[in-house]
Structure 1
Amino acid sequence: MRKRYTIEVAASSKLVVYCPQELLLDMEIKKIAFGSRAIEVDFVPLPKNKNIIVISKEIQKLLLFPDFAIKMHVFVDHQVLTIGPLVGIFTAGFTPFPIRPIGERTNFFSKLLSVKTNVGAIPFVFGEQHINWEQGTINGYFYHDNNWQTVEVPFPHVIYDRLPNRKSERNPKLVKVKEILQKDYLIPWYNPGFFSKLDIYERLHQDHSVSFLLPETHPFTSFSLIENMLSQYGHIYIKPINGSLGLGVHQILYDRTQDEYYCRYQDRKGVNRLQKFTSLEGLFQTVFSNRNLDKMIVQQGIHLMRHEQRPIDFRIHTNKDNNGEWHVTALAAKIAGRGSVTTHTRSGGEIKTVAEIFQQEECHLYTEKLENAALLLSKSIANNMEGIIAEIGFDLGIDKHGDIWLFEANSKPGRSIFSHPELKEFDQLSCKLSMAFAVFLTEQSILHPEEVIKW
């Protein structure tokens, strides 16, 4: 049974830990650990009904335990009492400004770190430049009492990957850090890497429990592929394999009656464009002349449900909780901007709650359908992708027949939907579960390390 205790620090130099009697009943404990630090101490039982753990100032100093009086989880295994979890959130893009240490993402990280009291974890943010390899410590950024401060702590129990983009993910320095911390220090690392659209499609396509949710998708190979898909579906999408934020997405439509092609896209100046062409070759020579088509996918067009004559899709966030179970933590509708090829807000899209666009009965029906699809997909992705995945953002569509379709899965989902006033509580919930999963992962890594290594 997992339990939490308040950790108090006594003004003493003794290497003695006072703890509840229940922890000492069935086992001998010789060490106390926090993060990667462990020291031998004496354990003394407290009087009955005292549900705290008291460590001395000397133990606090040796463990590099921060001075935050919050209820922490306690894990006991192999004569070691571990308090934690200490959660390192790995990212890049730090600034020299104390009030905004992570630039425009500072506000998100402050919300993420503010859930520590609810979750019973001590999270901090760090980059490769904050690691002291010789000492085995990190000068991490903590958010406490509405202020940012740097505190030296041991290497964490687990690491939550929040690298901001694919460029930072490919940075050789950051790749090396991840490799060393995972392989040499055996620190579990969750939510690694950005998904490739084609990779996700190919893996999920093999899983019959979710393959019916996938629109037909292929790497770009030839004009004949596009001709065939246009004749079958009437319109298609061409997307970058590793794109995000709707950048580089093109919709191609074929008008059978006029034998004409249309291309809807956003140009490099951010203007929504719709152009007409008499041939597919002419369209590609004009629109794709400077694009590497080898890095694009071709996807079946879906005739989406509309709201006020504008296509809508849905963003669903899922997270694993402190028992390793998947939950839907947020659901919102995204309505395309006028003339836009995507529903992104940067292209004029709007965010609405599902209740704002459906009547009550429909709202219940489609919420259930979308949530069930997102949970099925989450389990399939977690089972079929490498690494420990505990958070996903899905873009799902509903067609005119009421069927659900997967357009995209994001391992580092954007958070624009939380700008809607009625979705604020879900913003906090997704942050809370992102940290709560660290409790589960820490417990598994202590009690069943061989299982975590397999993940």
Structure 2
Amino acid sequence: MKKHYRLEITSQAANTISIPNECEIPLPLQKVSFGSKKMDAIIKKQESIKQCISISQGLAHALHIPAHCSALHLFFDHDTLYLGPLVGIFTSGFSSIKVKPIGDRTLNFSKLLSVQNTVGVHAFLFGEQHINWEKTTINGLFYYDGGWKIIEVPFPNVVYDRIPNRKSEKLSRIKTAKNRLQKDYLIPWYNPGFFNKLDIYERLLQESSISDYLPETHSFTSFSTVERMLSNYNHVYIKPKNGSLGKGIFQVIYDKKENNYYVRFNDSTGENRLQKFDSLEKLMNHIFHKKNISNFIIQQGIYLIRSEHKPIDFRIHTNKNKSGQWEVTAIAAKIAGAGSVTTHMNNGGIIKSVAELNDLEIDTKDLQDKLCTASLQISTALEKQLEGIVGEIGFDMGIDRKGRVWLFEANSKPGRSMFKDSSLKKYDLLTRRLSLEYAIYLMEKCIKMPEDIYR
């Protein structure tokens, strides 16, 4: 397993770096690199049993290694020793308020950066406005000693994409910076872009190994498709193709006995609504007369297992680890609010750990095993179907009353609101740690086998 070492900046001879004796790094090497910066250096093994990296103050300064950097990994190739990874977290929405430089997301980012020393990476936040293209440096935002500091560093070894929404992602200046860093500087960039629900569904349909997890889903092109699916499943969900947080979702229900149609949704005031119609045509004209139906999908309704007499589904996070393998890092149950069309918290839903579900007909260990198996299979299948480097995915899954697992959505930038629940704190830490840990794998791949990254 790849090991990281404590880093100390010392007053030893200029341009000198000493590495632990136990390191399987052959000498001599003539250069040392940090991020995109590379310098000639005297590189030697330590004579003592110290298990740390010692670097002279002048060399650390020339490489733009921040003084608070305390733990890194070591890599080598040809004549160069690499220190890293230096991880740039690319985002937008910066504020001029020093204590909240990323607005309401500041706390989440400070928590993410708080695990970097235990992982052995050095991470910072930046936006397109922080890049100095002439000097190939970035004025990055670092979090340490309980506060935020701006420090000039080289271009990073790896970039972790945390652009918060589709609107920001489409801005030309953000697209230009992203393309330049990837294409001109060959920096591995993980978790780019947001998923489109229908696109993801159609890509996954090509993977026969996971097709049983997929509910019938179609682009909303005609009312006749809704009618047919209601005849087959009794209820369907109509969702925005690019929606998030459960907004804009409608559940349409057909009561065969009464020959009536119902629609459940969350209105513009945040209230959960249920309306009745005597024909599907009236329902659709009332709900969708001012909406562009081509922006929606129709998905088969599933009769889910219930807790506290309410439907439940599950949020599962998967992350790539430092070996480049998928791991399940979080599972949470989401119980629907009264009268809600979804289990989202903003619609009255509540979060629980699987262990807290004590009124299910299905065994919780069996349930958890099924969800883990499905999410790992789908992560592998989805990765094969997507362009770019995928390092984490958030899945919304359900289990029906017969025990079958269903995939409802996959999210490329899963939210973190569920971790506010005290029972999920261990998952919070694990997902943060692996979000940065994957950069170790990408940096080593980029040095040793770049063809695997830039295929």
TM-score by length of 2: 0.97
3-state SS in 2 of match to 1:247: coil
Q: Which amino acid aligns with 1:157?
A: N
1:216 partnered with 2:196: no
In the other structure, the counterpart of 2:374 is 373
3-state SS in 2 of match to 1:187: coil
Paired with 2:155 and 2:287, the residues of 1 have a C-alpha distance of 50
Q: What's the offset of the Cα at 1:290?
A: 1.7
In the other structure, the counterpart of 1:297 is 297
In the other structure, the counterpart of 2:198 is 198
Counterparts in 2 of 1:136-147, with a 5 A limit? 136-147=136-147
Q: Which amino acid aligns with 1:178?
A: K
1:14 partnered with 2:22: no
Q: Which has the larger displacement, 24-33 or 391-400?
A: 24-33
| Number of residue equivalences | 454
> What is the percentage of aligned positions where both structures have the same residue?
52
Q: For each residue in 1:335-361, what CA deviation from the matched residue of structure 2 results, as whole angstroms up to 9, or x when unmatched?
A: 111111000010000111112213697
Q: Which runs of 5+ in 1 are unaligned?
A: none
Q: For each residue in 1:345-393, what CA deviation from the matched residue of structure 2 results, as whole angstroms up to 9, or x when unmatched?
A: 1000011111221369711110111111111111111111111111011
3-state SS in 2 of match to 1:194: coil
Q: Which amino acid aligns with 1:393?
A: G
Counterparts in 2 of 1:385-400, with a 5 A limit? 385-400=386-401
CA contact (8 A) 1:188 1:452 kept: yes
Counterparts in 2 of 1:277-288, with a 5 A limit? 277-288=277-288
Q: Which has the larger displacement, 39-48 or 211-220?
A: 39-48
3-state SS in 2 of match to 1:382: helix
Q: For each residue in 1:305-335, what CA deviation from the matched residue of structure 2 results, as whole angstroms up to 9, or x when unmatched?
A: 1112211101111111111111111111101
CA contact (8 A) 1:190 1:387 kept: yes
Q: For each residue in 1:368-419, what CA deviation from the matched residue of structure 2 results, as whole angstroms up to 9, or x when unmatched?
A: 1111111111111111111111101111001111110000110111112111
In the other structure, the counterpart of 1:174 is 174
Q: For each residue in 1:217-260, what CA deviation from the matched residue of structure 2 results, as whole angstroms up to 9, or x when unmatched?
A: 00011111111111011010100001000011000011112221
CA contact (8 A) 2:251 2:265 kept: yes
Q: Which runs of 5+ in 2 are unaligned?
A: none
Paired with 2:45 and 2:316, the residues of 1 have a C-alpha distance of 48
Q: Which amino acid aligns with 1:31?
A: K
CA contact (8 A) 2:394 2:411 kept: yes
Q: What's the offset of the Cα at 1:7?
A: 2.1
1:351 partnered with 2:351: yes
Paired with 2:438 and 2:73, the residues of 1 have a C-alpha distance of 13
1:448 partnered with 2:449: yes
TM-score by length of 1: 0.97
3-state SS in 2 of match to 1:313: strand
Paired with 1:127 and 1:9, the residues of 2 have a C-alpha distance of 29
Q: For each residue in 1:417-455, what CA deviation from the matched residue of structure 2 results, as whole angstroms up to 9, or x when unmatched?
A: 11111101110110000001011111111111111111x
Paired with 2:313 and 2:184, the residues of 1 have a C-alpha distance of 43
In the other structure, the counterpart of 1:46 is 46
In the other structure, the counterpart of 2:87 is 87
Paired with 2:404 and 2:387, the residues of 1 have a C-alpha distance of 29
Q: What's the offset of the Cα at 1:13?
A: 6.9
In the other structure, the counterpart of 2:416 is 415
Q: Which amino acid aligns with 1:428?
A: L
Q: Which amino acid aligns with 2:192?
A: P
Q: What's the offset of the Cα at 1:74?
A: 0.3
Query: Judging changes above 3 Å, is the alpha-carbon distance between structure 1 residues 257 and 24 closer, same or farther for their aligned structure 2 residues?
Result: closer
Q: What's the offset of the Cα at 1:4?
A: 2.4
CA contact (8 A) 2:161 2:189 kept: yes
Paired with 1:58 and 1:167, the residues of 2 have a C-alpha distance of 43
Paired with 1:24 and 1:209, the residues of 2 have a C-alpha distance of 40
Q: Which has the larger displacement, 417-426 or 352-361?
A: 352-361
Paired with 1:311 and 1:222, the residues of 2 have a C-alpha distance of 29
3-state SS in 2 of match to 1:375: helix
Q: Which amino acid aligns with 1:68?
A: H
Q: Which amino acid aligns with 1:274?
A: L
Q: What's the offset of the Cα at 1:44?
A: 3.4
CA contact (8 A) 1:320 1:390 kept: yes
3-state SS in 1 of match to 2:74: strand
In the other structure, the counterpart of 2:363 is 362
In the other structure, the counterpart of 1:73 is 73
Q: Which has the larger displacement, 332-341 or 48-57?
A: 48-57
Query: Judging changes above 3 Å, is the alpha-carbon distance between structure 1 residues 363 and 21 closer, same or farther for their aligned structure 2 residues?
Result: closer
1:234 partnered with 2:238: no
Query: Judging changes above 3 Å, is the alpha-carbon distance between structure 1 residues 336 and 14 closer, same or farther for their aligned structure 2 residues?
Result: same
3-state SS in 1 of match to 2:209: coil
Query: Judging changes above 3 Å, is the alpha-carbon distance between structure 1 residues 24 and 311 closer, same or farther for their aligned structure 2 residues?
Result: closer
3-state SS in 1 of match to 2:208: coil
Q: For each residue in 1:138-181, what CA deviation from the matched residue of structure 2 results, as whole angstroms up to 9, or x when unmatched?
A: 11111112111111100000000000011111111111111000
Paired with 1:182 and 1:132, the residues of 2 have a C-alpha distance of 15
In the other structure, the counterpart of 1:184 is 184
CA RMSD of aligned residues (A): 1.5
CA contact (8 A) 1:119 1:435 kept: yes
Q: Which amino acid aligns with 2:350?
A: E
Paired with 2:290 and 2:402, the residues of 1 have a C-alpha distance of 38
Q: Which has the larger displacement, 204-213 or 19-28?
A: 19-28
